[in-house]
Structures are given as C-alpha cells and as structure tokens.
Amino acid sequence: MKLLLLLSLVALGHCLVTRIPLRRAKSLRQSLREHGLLESYLKQHPYNPAAKYFSIGVSTEPLENYLDDEYFGTISIGTPAQEFTVVFDTGSSNLWVPSVYCSSPACRNHSRFNPADSLTFTSTNDSLFIAYGTGSMTGVLGYDTVTVAGIEVINQVFGLAETEPGDFFYYTPFDGILGLAFPSISSSGATPVFDNMMMEGLVDENLFSIYLSKNEQSGSFILFGAIDPWYTTNGINWIPLSAETYWQITMDSVSVGGKRIACSFGCEAIVDTGTSLLAMPNRAVSTILRILGASSSGEINCRAVSKLPSIVFRINGKAFPVPPKAYVIESDGYCILGFEGMDVPTESGELWILGDVFIREYYVIFNRANNTVGLSRLS
C-alpha cells in the first residue's frame, strides 16, 4: 500500500484505474458464502469468528488478498452496525473510515459512515489529519462501538473522513484503515483499537498475529489474542523492539549471495503490513539491482528468476531469507523486483521497511506484552 503500492502497480504496466474495480470489493465471507464454501473454510480455520471461538478473548479476522498488494478485512461501526472494509496496518495507529460529511470522489466511491444512523455515536470537536505516502485524509473524531473479528470495543475513538484528496483512495478496494502501531504515533492522540482491546481485557494475550497468503490465494488472517500453532511448527524467533512507535526493530546486516551488501553496521527496520514492497535506502536498491542483473527500473528477465539468490536479513543474530520467488513480481510475462528506494535517516542508522514481500515468508507475531516481534518461517 502507500507510495510503494502505487509505484509497483504502475511499474508493472497496470494502471490503478483499469485494475481496480469501481464497485466496492466483496468481503471474503461474502464471496465464500456465495460459492458455498464458507462452511468448509470455517472447519479448516477453527478460530474464525463466524464459527465457535477457540476461547473467549481469541478471535480471527479473515483478510482478503487483493493482487498480493493489499490485504483487508471487514469491521463494523455503530448501532446498528455499519460495515466497512479496512487495511489492518501495522505502520500506523489510527482508525478512520469515510463519512457522509465527505464529498471527495474517494469518499463517494466507498461506504460512508452516517452518525445519524447510529444510536451509540458520540461526536467531538477534535479534528484529524493523516498523511500517508500515497494520500491523505482530514476529518473529525467521534466515538462509537467498533466490532473487529467479533470483538466489540465500546466507545472507540475513530476518524470520520471529511476530505480524501487525490486519486489514490478513490481506486482502493478498501474503505479505510485500522492502525495497529503504538499510541505514540497516533494522530490527535486517538487511542488505537488494539490498545482498547487490551485495556478492556477483550483479548487473552496482549498480542496479535498475522498470516498473509501468496499468489492471490485465500486464507490470510489476523488473529487477536493468540498464536496459531499451525503456523509456528518451525519455531518462533523473538526480536526486541528498538522503539515503541512503529513495530521497529534493529537489523544486523543485509546479504546477497553470502556477501554483505547493506546495513553493514546495523540499521533500523519496521515491520509494516501496510506497505506492499521492500523499501530500502536508494543506495541499497542500486547495489541490489546491479548484483541481480536488473535494469535501473527494476525490470529483470523472467527466465533468470530461478537462478537468483535469496536476500538474507540478519536480525538479532538470526538469518531471515527472502527467496527470489518472493521478491520478484511477475505479471503477464513481465518481471520486476519488489523493491523501492526510500531515504529516511534515523538516530540509529538508515531505515528499511519490511513490507508484504517480506511478511509473506513468515508468520508474524506482534507482542505488546513484552514489546517484541516474533517471526516463524513458513514452509
């Protein structure tokens, strides 16, 4: 998502205007139900909120995989419930959806929250502004009941978008964003949804975990309050956070073909479900493109992909490889590397964003109980 999603789709020669339908995308639940597959899906995923819970305080939200670029699920706000599709974004902290106050084309093209239709809505005079790499929104804050994966959060603060300038949000298949990062980076001091879940004792454990499917397949999910043992058979490597802002960690180095090519003296990285690609300093991008034999735009011969080396991220003394089949994006016989240049200096060194290209290789656990990220390699 964000700037990286937009650039990646354009680079692949698929304009957002033609690739993304103007109608609202169906939820995974709705599509499964229409095809008579919902019952079998729920049996395979016993944590699903539409089925019997594994236990009180443990609940899963299925995520729809859209082109391997965006993963979004369905939440509801208000009484009676008004449904919205949202990206569960570990790179931001606010919840917001379009509102009836908004006349921007992006809002009119999506579901809009109507406070007048909710018996539990409370208004405020507090304003909200959020800028992402690909777009921005302005609006006001309000309070209402928010239901996520069957978990009902009373008096949750959220943003009601009044403007969504530009084209990006117009063409997205989701309505809004639900941030899962720390309160310290929340705009207007709004308490994040997961923080309220923890404070109200609505989850068994103060953590959530995420699985993102590959190749546009179904099965992606976010699990609140537990770790699914099915996805951790290879063990869990726990990594301490270096800052309680984003889900930020310190990396030791980045290697290609057994040779360190970047981050030689350590650098910072954030694990971000809201970013589609691997974002890294421009100098690192240039080095990797040269080593892999790609063009300056990242294009590479599809026939050469099977011979490419893995990119290995060394984190907390452990190696976390990303193979070529994960970092090469192929469409209609055209191949491009899933990297994007971005220079963001930090006090501890250069910043990398481990987006969905990385996350798809691992089951990721975001642990607020001890401020760690857990990575379990998927086989």
Q: β-strands 221-224, 207-211: how paired?
A: antiparallel
Q: Quick check: do 2-227 and 232-377 share a fold? A: yes
For residue 343 the two structure tokens come to 């220079």
* Dihedral of the alpha carbons of 6, 8, 10, 16, in degrees to the nearest 10: -50
Q: Which CATH superfamily is domain 232-377 in?
A: Acid Proteases (2.40.70.10)
Query: What are the residue numbers of the active site?
Result: 89, 272
pLDDT digits (tens, 9 = 90+) for 249-266: 999 999 999 999 999 999
Residues 322-339, mean pLDDT to the nearest whole number: 93
Higher pLDDT, 11 or 372: 372
pLDDT digits (tens, 9 = 90+) for 171-222: 999 999 999 999 999 999 999 999 999 999 999 999 999 999 999 999 999 9
C-alpha–C-alpha distance, residues 353 and 116, integer Å: 40
Place of tokens 């789709």: 9
Locate the DSSP E strands across 63-202.
64-66, 70-77, 82-89, 95-98, 122-131, 136-148, 151-163, 176-179
Examine the pLDDT at 9 and tell me if it is beyond 50.
no
CA–CA distances in Å: residue 170 to residues 5, 108, 110, 235, 349: 14, 8, 8, 41, 36
Of the ranges 21-25, 79-83, 118-122, which one carries the lowest mean pLDDT score? Answer: 21-25
Residue 37 has a pLDDT of: 55
| Class for the domain spanning 2-227 | mainly beta
Average pLDDT, the chain: 87
Examine the pLDDT at 25 and tell me if it is beyond 90.
no
Domain boundaries, the chain: 2-227, 232-377
pLDDT digits (tens, 9 = 90+) for 224-283: 999 999 999 999 999 999 999 999 999 999 999 999 999 999 999 999 999 999 999 999
Contact (Cβ atoms closer than 8 angstroms) between residue 329 and residue 12? yes
Residues 25-39, mean pLDDT to the nearest whole number: 48
Helices (H), 61-192: 105-108, 168-171
CA–CA distances in Å: residue 304 to residues 288, 308, 325, 360: 15, 7, 11, 22
Examine the pLDDT at 154 and tell me if it is beyond 60.
yes
What pTM was estimated for this model as a whole?
Answer: 0.85
Share of the chain above pLDDT 90, in %: 77
